[in-house]
């Protein structure tokens, strides 16, 4: 079984990679940061020696690199059992005063990365009539909030992509799950000084992704909303 994870070098992506490695999946890990990705890959290889971990740095916000990434996966002969579109970027701001180009960058990284990579991998999945696609959205996909700006717009768009893709792929036996996590303790939240007991653990998100893959072929989890027990910050 193969699991492809983007944004895999740290945070939610790394937690998801570790969960699937522990379950015996072969991993294909992608991230923009080559050094961080290499470090994560080496750690997983050492901890799970029976798991084959392949990794390569791509900037998936660039259309051509996203397409090249898909071809790299195909060239390795990997059947896509699980695809986790987790590549993302957050730039805070308001629509009225954020810098020019922020919307375009948010759409490229948070939406187009998933769109272009998925399109390359879909023909093989459709041929096999098998596979599960996870799009890591956000609670910002569900409700506007102050300082959300173009980030929230891009996450709303990713939710729409997920819904349309799900309907399109139903006849082909391919599942599509949109995940809407609130605040989970990752490097970015650690830098903010927030109490880690106030928000979720990255492993909580990984547990839910893995659990959704364990259902029978005739059942699917369409949407997963995860928030801290005390609510969003």
What residues are annotated to the active site? 151
> Nearest-CA neighbor of 133 among 168, 90, 182, 107?
168
**Element at 79 (helix H, strand E):** none
Q: What Rg do the C-alpha atoms of the chain give, in angstroms?
A: 17
230 Cβ contact list (under 8 Å, min separation 6): 198
CA distance 20 to 8: 12
CB 143 within 8 A of CB 159: no
Alpha carbon 62 to its chain's center: 16
How far apart, in whole angstroms, are the C-alpha atoms of residue 146 and residue 144?
A: 7
């Amino acid at each position: 079984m193969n699991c492809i994870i983007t944004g895999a070098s740290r945070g939610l992506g790394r937690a998801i990679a570790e969960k699937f490695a522990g379950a015996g999946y072969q991993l294909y890990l992608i991230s923009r940061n080559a050094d961080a990705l290499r470090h994560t890959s080496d750690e997983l290889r050492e901890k799970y020696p029976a798991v084959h971990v392949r990794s390569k740095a791509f900037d998936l916000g660039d259309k051509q690199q996203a397409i090249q990434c898909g071809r790299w996966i195909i060239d390795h002969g990997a059947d896509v059992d699980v695809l986790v579109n987790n590549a993302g970027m957050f730039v805070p701001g308001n629509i009225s005063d954020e810098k020019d180009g922020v919307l375009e960058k948010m759409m490229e990284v948070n939406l187009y990365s998933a769109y272009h990579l998925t399109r390359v991998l879909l023909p093989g999945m459709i041929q096999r009539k098998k596979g599960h696609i996870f799009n890591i959205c956000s609670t910002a996909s569900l409700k506007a909030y102050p300082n959300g700006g173009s980030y929230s717009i891009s996450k709303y768009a990713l939710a729409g992509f997920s819904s349309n893709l799900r309907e399109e792929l139903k006849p082909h036996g391919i599942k599509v799950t949109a995940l809407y996590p609130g605040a989970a303790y990752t490097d970015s939240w650690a830098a903010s000084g927030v109490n880690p007991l106030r928000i979720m653990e990255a492993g909580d998100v990984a547990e839910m992704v893995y659990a959704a893959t364990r259902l029978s072929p005739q059942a699917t989890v369409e949407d997963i909303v995860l928030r801290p027990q005390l609510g969003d910050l």
